[in-house]
Amino acid sequence: MSNPLPRVAAIHDLSGYGRCSLTVIIPILATMGFEVCPLPTAVLSTHTAIEGYKLFDLTDQLPGFIDHWKSQRLRFEAVYSGFLGSARQAAMVRDFIRDFAGPDTLTVVDPVMADFGKLYVSMPPEMIGEMRDLCRCAKVITPNITEAAFMLGREVPSSLSPEEVKEWLLALSDLGPSMPVITSLPLSSRTDRSTVAAYNREDGRFWLAGRPLMPTQYHGTGDIFSSVLTGSLLQGDSLPIALDRSCQFVASAIQITFGYSGLDHHEILLERSLNTLHAPVTYASYELLA
């Protein structure tokens, strides 16, 4: 019998505590009606922003897992990768995309490696070139502005004009992906908003979307954004509506969380927010970047 649910191969780490990567990706995509098959890149006690974290790298286990999936002739409607346990894994994910993705497969690479101008502590410098090469194989990529700058060999900008945003998106698209998305965008005209921008090479249009900025930062919001974007594109939303659905979910999850005091480690109360994934996009903020 064929599988009634579209299936997503999710190539990310499993962090036991800290609500990021697989512990947010699986519930989000499951709530949106997809089967998620995790291919764990590493197992961690917590995400790497918590001091003293323990990381068990699964690089040497991945080929055996992938070969078993091949022997079972598993098929995926989407392949979605994120945090890698080592730079060597990037080539394995490239081969995975080559072997499992056909022309209709949605391929999403979130080149998770840096934020606020710095590489995450577990990331070796060679991860930058490896992630750049991995991004060449994807249709959709979702770097934040730091990751985009690192991959393009540029300074991390403190401010960008709309014209510059378009040029950055074209430079990312020149690497290969037909739908580059940049998050945490420091748009000069919108300093009061959390803004994302995207380009669709198929129709040549550029998009901006966003929500009012909250006076706080939470871990895992990049993973939450990219998961909703993946699910939204997979369910057939247009690119601007997928951006808005993702921004709406992140913003409402932040608001749900922000109301509580004394939370431990600045992560989103995802379980209180998941039901809002079924809400329609009630306010479409998107604009064409002309």
In the complex, minimum distance from the CB of residue 145 to ligand PXL, in angstroms, rounded to a whole number: 15
What sign has the CA pseudo-torsion 19, 25, 30, 32? positive
DSSP 8-class letter at 210:
E
Which position among 7, 8, 10, 15 is part of the footprint of ligand PXL (CB under 6 A)? 15
- Return the C-alpha torsion angle 261, 265, 271, 276, nearest 10: 70
The structure tokens listed for 241 are: 């509506």
Rule CB under 6 A: say whether 267 interacts with ligand PXL: no
Interaction with ligand PXL in 91-130: which residues (CB under 6 A)? 112, 120
Rule CB under 6 A: say whether 84 interacts with ligand PXL: no
Residue 61's alpha-carbon distances to 39, 41, 56, 65, 81, in angstroms, are 10, 9, 11, 7, 17
Rule CB under 6 A: say whether 20 interacts with ligand PXL: yes
Q: Using the rule CB under 6 A, give the single segment among 31-39, 45-53, 67-75, 154-162 that binds ligand PXL.
A: 45-53
Residue among 23 and 200 whose Cβ is closer to ligand PXL: 23
Rule CB under 6 A: say whether 47 interacts with ligand PXL: yes
Q: How many CA atoms lie within 13 A of 214 on its CB side?
A: 16
Q: Phi and psi for 32 in degrees, rounded to 5?
A: -80, 0
In the three-class reduction of DSSP (H, G, I as helix; E, B as strand; rest coil), residue 278 is classed as: helix
Interaction with ligand PXL in 170-229: which residues (CB under 6 A)? 220, 222-223
Cα distance between residue 282 and residue 75, in whole Å: 34
Which position among 48, 86, 246, 257 is part of the footprint of ligand PXL (CB under 6 A)? 48
Rule CB under 6 A: say whether 146 interacts with ligand PXL: no
Residue among 25 and 165 whose Cβ is closer to ligand PXL: 25
Angle among Cα 25, 215, 84 to the nearest 5 degrees reads 30
The structure tokens listed for 181 are: 């998305």
Q: Phi and psi for 232 in degrees, rounded to 5?
A: -70, -45
In the complex, minimum distance from the CB of residue 92 to ligand PXL, in angstroms, rounded to a whole number: 17
Rule CB under 6 A: say whether 147 interacts with ligand PXL: no
Which position among 7, 8, 13, 148 is part of the footprint of ligand PXL (CB under 6 A)? 13
In the complex, minimum distance from the CB of residue 136 to ligand PXL, in angstroms, rounded to a whole number: 21
Residues binding ligand PXL (CB under 6 A): 13, 15, 20-21, 44, 47-49, 83, 112, 120, 220, 222-223
